[in-house]
Amino acid sequence: MKVTIAPITRRDVPRYIEFLRAGFGTELTELGTDLDRLGHIISFLLMGNEIPLRMVKRVSGHEAFILIARAGADPIGCITVVGRQPALTGVYVVPEFRGRGIAARLVADAVRRLRSAGYERAIASPLNHVAQRLIENVGFTPTNRTVVYEHPLPLEITPPSMVRLRRMRTADVPPDRRGWHGRRYNVHGVGWLLGVHMHRLTAVTPTGAAACARLFAINRERVGEVHPLLLSSGQSEAALSLLAAGARWFARMGKETVHVSLDPRDEELIALVRAIGFSEQREWVEFVLDLTR
Protein backbone atom coordinates (compact mmCIF):
# COMPACT_ATOMS: atom_id res chain seq x y z
CA MET A 1 0.00 0.00 0.00
CA LYS A 2 1.30 3.44 -0.95
CA VAL A 3 2.42 5.66 1.93
CA THR A 4 1.96 9.42 1.54
CA ILE A 5 2.91 12.37 3.75
CA ALA A 6 0.82 15.52 4.04
CA PRO A 7 -0.14 18.20 6.60
CA ILE A 8 -2.58 17.22 9.34
CA THR A 9 -6.31 17.78 8.84
CA ARG A 10 -9.00 18.14 11.49
CA ARG A 11 -10.07 14.56 10.74
CA ASP A 12 -6.56 13.35 11.68
CA VAL A 13 -6.45 15.03 15.10
CA PRO A 14 -7.84 12.13 17.18
CA ARG A 15 -5.30 9.73 15.63
CA TYR A 16 -2.50 12.25 16.16
CA ILE A 17 -3.36 12.44 19.87
CA GLU A 18 -3.35 8.62 19.98
CA PHE A 19 0.15 8.67 18.45
CA LEU A 20 1.36 11.10 21.14
CA ARG A 21 -0.05 8.87 23.88
CA ALA A 22 1.50 5.75 22.38
CA GLY A 23 4.92 7.24 21.65
CA PHE A 24 5.46 9.82 24.37
CA GLY A 25 2.89 9.03 27.05
CA THR A 26 5.43 8.57 29.84
CA GLU A 27 7.13 11.93 29.27
CA LEU A 28 3.84 13.76 28.81
CA THR A 29 2.34 12.13 31.90
CA GLU A 30 5.31 13.32 33.97
CA LEU A 31 4.51 16.87 32.88
CA GLY A 32 0.79 16.41 33.42
CA THR A 33 0.03 17.39 29.81
CA ASP A 34 -3.69 17.37 28.97
CA LEU A 35 -3.69 15.70 25.56
CA ASP A 36 -7.45 15.92 25.16
CA ARG A 37 -7.26 19.70 25.54
CA LEU A 38 -4.33 19.79 23.13
CA GLY A 39 -6.47 17.97 20.58
CA HIS A 40 -9.23 20.58 20.97
CA ILE A 41 -6.71 23.40 20.49
CA ILE A 42 -5.27 21.84 17.33
CA SER A 43 -8.76 21.29 15.92
CA PHE A 44 -9.54 24.96 16.57
CA LEU A 45 -6.32 26.12 14.90
CA LEU A 46 -7.16 24.09 11.78
CA MET A 47 -10.64 25.58 11.39
CA GLY A 48 -11.61 27.74 8.41
CA ASN A 49 -8.78 26.76 6.09
CA GLU A 50 -6.29 27.11 9.00
CA ILE A 51 -6.97 30.84 9.49
CA PRO A 52 -6.44 30.66 13.31
CA LEU A 53 -3.16 28.81 12.82
CA ARG A 54 -1.90 31.34 10.29
CA MET A 55 -2.79 34.16 12.68
CA VAL A 56 -0.91 32.48 15.54
CA LYS A 57 2.16 32.00 13.36
CA ARG A 58 2.09 35.61 12.21
CA VAL A 59 1.67 37.07 15.71
CA SER A 60 4.18 34.77 17.42
CA GLY A 61 6.78 34.57 14.65
CA HIS A 62 6.96 30.81 15.19
CA GLU A 63 6.70 28.02 12.68
CA ALA A 64 4.11 25.35 13.45
CA PHE A 65 2.99 22.36 11.44
CA ILE A 66 2.22 18.67 11.84
CA LEU A 67 2.81 16.11 9.11
CA ILE A 68 0.87 12.87 8.94
CA ALA A 69 2.01 9.71 7.16
CA ARG A 70 -0.86 7.74 5.66
CA ALA A 71 -1.18 4.23 4.27
CA GLY A 72 -4.02 4.84 1.87
CA ALA A 73 -6.39 7.01 3.92
CA ASP A 74 -5.31 5.63 7.33
CA PRO A 75 -2.89 7.75 9.44
CA ILE A 76 0.09 5.66 10.49
CA GLY A 77 2.66 8.20 11.75
CA CYS A 78 3.43 11.83 12.49
CA ILE A 79 6.03 14.51 13.11
CA THR A 80 5.56 17.91 14.80
CA VAL A 81 7.53 21.06 13.98
CA VAL A 82 7.21 24.18 16.13
CA GLY A 83 9.30 27.15 17.23
CA ARG A 84 10.91 30.42 16.20
CA GLN A 85 13.97 28.33 15.42
CA PRO A 86 11.92 25.33 14.28
CA ALA A 87 12.25 22.20 16.39
CA LEU A 88 11.45 18.74 15.02
CA THR A 89 9.78 16.61 17.66
CA GLY A 90 7.29 13.81 18.20
CA VAL A 91 8.30 11.46 15.37
CA TYR A 92 6.12 8.37 15.64
CA VAL A 93 5.16 5.44 13.38
CA VAL A 94 2.74 2.67 14.35
CA PRO A 95 4.54 -0.64 15.07
CA GLU A 96 3.24 -2.56 12.05
CA PHE A 97 4.74 -0.01 9.63
CA ARG A 98 8.14 0.38 11.26
CA GLY A 99 11.30 -0.63 9.45
CA ARG A 100 10.08 0.77 6.12
CA GLY A 101 11.81 4.15 6.27
CA ILE A 102 8.62 6.07 7.05
CA ALA A 103 10.09 7.94 10.02
CA ALA A 104 13.03 9.01 7.85
CA ARG A 105 10.62 10.23 5.20
CA LEU A 106 8.71 12.28 7.79
CA VAL A 107 11.92 13.95 8.97
CA ALA A 108 13.14 14.56 5.41
CA ASP A 109 9.79 16.06 4.38
CA ALA A 110 9.78 18.38 7.41
CA VAL A 111 13.33 19.52 6.59
CA ARG A 112 12.38 20.12 2.95
CA ARG A 113 9.43 22.29 3.98
CA LEU A 114 11.59 24.33 6.34
CA ARG A 115 14.19 24.92 3.62
CA SER A 116 11.47 25.99 1.21
CA ALA A 117 10.16 28.42 3.82
CA GLY A 118 13.60 30.05 4.08
CA TYR A 119 14.68 28.88 7.54
CA GLU A 120 18.43 28.67 8.11
CA ARG A 121 18.51 26.28 11.09
CA ALA A 122 16.41 23.55 12.64
CA ILE A 123 16.84 21.85 16.00
CA ALA A 124 15.89 18.51 17.52
CA SER A 125 16.24 16.89 20.95
CA PRO A 126 15.86 13.13 20.45
CA LEU A 127 14.63 11.11 23.41
CA ASN A 128 16.41 7.86 22.52
CA HIS A 129 19.19 6.37 20.38
CA VAL A 130 16.82 5.36 17.58
CA ALA A 131 15.57 8.93 17.20
CA GLN A 132 19.15 10.20 17.43
CA ARG A 133 20.32 7.98 14.57
CA LEU A 134 17.32 9.07 12.56
CA ILE A 135 18.14 12.77 12.72
CA GLU A 136 21.89 12.21 12.37
CA ASN A 137 21.23 10.45 9.07
CA VAL A 138 19.59 13.67 7.83
CA GLY A 139 22.61 15.74 8.87
CA PHE A 140 21.80 16.98 12.37
CA THR A 141 24.87 17.41 14.59
CA PRO A 142 25.01 17.62 18.43
CA THR A 143 25.50 21.02 20.03
CA ASN A 144 24.13 21.79 23.51
CA ARG A 145 23.46 19.49 26.44
CA THR A 146 20.81 20.23 29.04
CA VAL A 147 20.36 18.64 32.45
CA VAL A 148 17.01 18.98 34.20
CA TYR A 149 16.86 19.04 38.01
CA GLU A 150 13.59 18.71 39.93
CA HIS A 151 12.18 19.39 43.37
CA PRO A 152 8.64 18.86 44.68
CA LEU A 153 6.61 21.88 45.73
CA PRO A 154 6.44 23.59 48.13
CA LEU A 155 10.08 24.65 48.00
CA GLU A 156 11.24 26.61 51.02
CA ILE A 157 14.06 29.01 50.09
CA THR A 158 15.40 31.98 52.02
CA PRO A 159 16.70 34.41 49.36
CA PRO A 160 19.58 36.80 50.11
CA SER A 161 18.33 40.02 51.67
CA MET A 162 20.49 42.27 49.48
CA VAL A 163 19.03 40.94 46.21
CA ARG A 164 16.07 42.57 44.49
CA LEU A 165 14.14 41.32 41.47
CA ARG A 166 13.02 43.26 38.42
CA ARG A 167 11.76 42.49 34.94
CA MET A 168 14.56 41.17 32.74
CA ARG A 169 15.92 43.51 30.06
CA THR A 170 17.71 42.57 26.87
CA ALA A 171 20.73 44.54 28.08
CA ASP A 172 20.99 42.26 31.12
CA VAL A 173 22.19 39.38 28.96
CA PRO A 174 25.78 39.62 27.60
CA PRO A 175 26.04 39.69 23.77
CA ASP A 176 27.72 36.28 23.72
CA ARG A 177 24.74 34.77 25.57
CA ARG A 178 21.95 36.47 23.61
CA GLY A 179 21.17 33.11 22.03
CA TRP A 180 19.94 31.89 25.42
CA HIS A 181 16.16 31.70 25.32
CA GLY A 182 15.09 29.12 27.85
CA ARG A 183 12.26 27.01 26.51
CA ARG A 184 12.11 27.68 22.78
CA TYR A 185 8.44 27.24 22.13
CA ASN A 186 7.12 30.23 24.03
CA VAL A 187 4.44 31.87 21.87
CA HIS A 188 4.44 35.42 23.24
CA GLY A 189 1.18 37.31 22.62
CA VAL A 190 -0.87 34.21 21.84
CA GLY A 191 0.26 32.26 24.88
CA TRP A 192 -3.22 32.60 26.37
CA LEU A 193 -4.56 30.30 23.66
CA LEU A 194 -2.20 27.45 24.54
CA GLY A 195 -2.19 28.23 28.26
CA VAL A 196 1.49 29.28 28.30
CA HIS A 197 2.59 31.67 31.07
CA MET A 198 6.06 33.21 31.31
CA HIS A 199 7.94 35.64 33.53
CA ARG A 200 11.38 37.13 32.78
CA LEU A 201 13.24 38.21 35.90
CA THR A 202 16.67 39.57 36.78
CA ALA A 203 18.27 39.31 40.23
CA VAL A 204 20.14 42.53 41.03
CA THR A 205 22.75 42.89 43.77
CA PRO A 206 24.35 46.15 44.97
CA THR A 207 27.05 45.62 42.32
CA GLY A 208 24.61 45.07 39.42
CA ALA A 209 22.70 42.32 37.60
CA ALA A 210 23.90 38.93 38.84
CA ALA A 211 21.48 36.37 37.37
CA CYS A 212 18.36 36.19 35.25
CA ALA A 213 15.76 33.55 34.51
CA ARG A 214 12.78 32.73 32.39
CA LEU A 215 9.95 31.06 34.30
CA PHE A 216 7.48 28.92 32.35
CA ALA A 217 4.19 27.31 33.30
CA ILE A 218 1.51 25.71 31.15
CA ASN A 219 -2.08 25.31 32.25
CA ARG A 220 -2.99 21.81 33.47
CA GLU A 221 0.64 20.67 33.58
CA ARG A 222 1.95 19.73 37.01
CA VAL A 223 5.43 21.15 36.38
CA GLY A 224 6.76 24.70 36.41
CA GLU A 225 10.10 25.37 34.73
CA VAL A 226 12.96 27.72 35.62
CA HIS A 227 15.65 28.44 33.02
CA PRO A 228 18.34 30.45 34.86
CA LEU A 229 21.46 32.16 33.56
CA LEU A 230 24.28 33.31 35.84
CA LEU A 231 25.59 36.75 34.77
CA SER A 232 28.34 37.23 37.37
CA SER A 233 30.75 34.53 38.48
CA GLY A 234 30.78 33.99 42.21
CA GLN A 235 27.28 35.35 42.77
CA SER A 236 25.25 32.20 42.27
CA GLU A 237 23.34 32.81 45.50
CA ALA A 238 21.53 35.64 43.72
CA ALA A 239 19.77 32.90 41.74
CA LEU A 240 18.11 31.81 44.99
CA SER A 241 15.82 34.82 44.68
CA LEU A 242 14.82 33.71 41.19
CA LEU A 243 14.15 30.16 42.35
CA ALA A 244 12.14 31.41 45.32
CA ALA A 245 10.03 33.65 43.06
CA GLY A 246 9.45 30.78 40.66
CA ALA A 247 8.49 28.38 43.43
CA ARG A 248 5.96 30.86 44.87
CA TRP A 249 4.46 31.54 41.45
CA PHE A 250 4.17 27.85 40.56
CA ALA A 251 2.65 27.03 43.95
CA ARG A 252 -0.06 29.67 43.45
CA MET A 253 -0.85 28.05 40.10
CA GLY A 254 -1.24 24.65 41.73
CA LYS A 255 1.91 23.08 40.29
CA GLU A 256 3.40 20.07 42.05
CA THR A 257 7.02 20.15 40.89
CA VAL A 258 9.61 22.69 39.79
CA HIS A 259 12.19 21.85 37.11
CA VAL A 260 15.45 23.76 36.63
CA SER A 261 17.17 23.36 33.25
CA LEU A 262 20.94 23.89 33.24
CA ASP A 263 23.90 23.56 30.94
CA PRO A 264 26.27 20.94 32.44
CA ARG A 265 29.00 23.60 32.33
CA ASP A 266 27.05 25.82 34.77
CA GLU A 267 28.88 24.30 37.72
CA GLU A 268 27.97 27.09 40.16
CA LEU A 269 24.26 26.82 39.52
CA ILE A 270 24.37 23.01 39.57
CA ALA A 271 26.07 23.08 42.96
CA LEU A 272 23.47 25.58 44.18
CA VAL A 273 20.37 23.57 43.16
CA ARG A 274 21.86 20.37 44.52
CA ALA A 275 22.60 22.07 47.84
CA ILE A 276 18.94 23.02 48.28
CA GLY A 277 17.68 19.52 47.52
CA PHE A 278 17.16 19.30 43.76
CA SER A 279 17.85 15.93 42.12
CA GLU A 280 18.78 15.19 38.52
CA GLN A 281 15.72 14.13 36.55
CA ARG A 282 16.98 13.68 32.98
CA GLU A 283 19.45 14.89 30.38
CA TRP A 284 19.19 15.48 26.67
CA VAL A 285 21.33 16.69 23.79
CA GLU A 286 20.18 19.32 21.33
CA PHE A 287 21.00 18.69 17.67
CA VAL A 288 21.19 21.37 14.97
CA LEU A 289 20.85 21.19 11.20
CA ASP A 290 22.18 23.93 8.89
CA LEU A 291 19.39 24.33 6.34
CA THR A 292 21.46 26.56 4.06
CA ARG A 293 23.63 23.68 2.89
Q: What is the mean pLDDT of each run of 10 residues along the chain (293 residues)?
A: 92 95 80 80 89 81 90 94 87 93 94 93 84 88 90 91 89 67 45 71 91 87 91 87 95 94 91 95 88 86
Q: In the prediction, which pLDDT does 188 show?
A: 46
Q: Which domains does the chain have, with CATH numbers?
A: 3-139 (3.40.630.30), 146-284 (3.40.630.30)
Q: In the prediction, which pLDDT does 8 show?
A: 96
Q: In the prediction, which pLDDT does 258 show?
A: 95
Decide: 182 and 214 in contact? Cβ < 8 Å. yes
Rounded CA separation 90/106 (Å): 11
Q: In the prediction, which pLDDT does 196 show?
A: 76
DSSP string, the chain: --EEEEE--GGGHHHHHHHHHHHHHHHHHHHT--HHHHHHHHHHHTHHHHHHHHHHHHHH--EEEEEEEEETTEEEEEEEEEETTTEEEEEEE-GGGTTSSHHHHHHHHHHHHHHHTT-SEEEE--SSHHHHHHHHHHT-EEEEEEEEEEEESP------TT-EEEE--GGGS-GGGTT--SSTT--GGGHHHHTEEEEEEEEEETTEEEEEEEEEEETT-SEEEEEEEE-STT-GGGHHHHHHHHHHHHHHTT--EEEEEE-TT-HHHHHHHHHTT-EEEEEEEEEEEETT-
Pairing of strands 257-262, 141-152: antiparallel
Q: Is residue 158 classed exposed, middle or buried when 0-12, 13-18 and 19+ CB atoms within 10 A define those classes?
A: exposed
Q: Give the CA distances from residue 228 to residues 59, 171, 246, 261, in Å, rounded to whole numbers and listed in that order.
A: 26, 16, 11, 7
Q: In the prediction, which pLDDT does 179 show?
A: 54
Q: In the prediction, which pLDDT does 182 show?
A: 47
Please name every residue paired with 211 in a beta bridge, in sequence order, or none if there are none: 203, 230
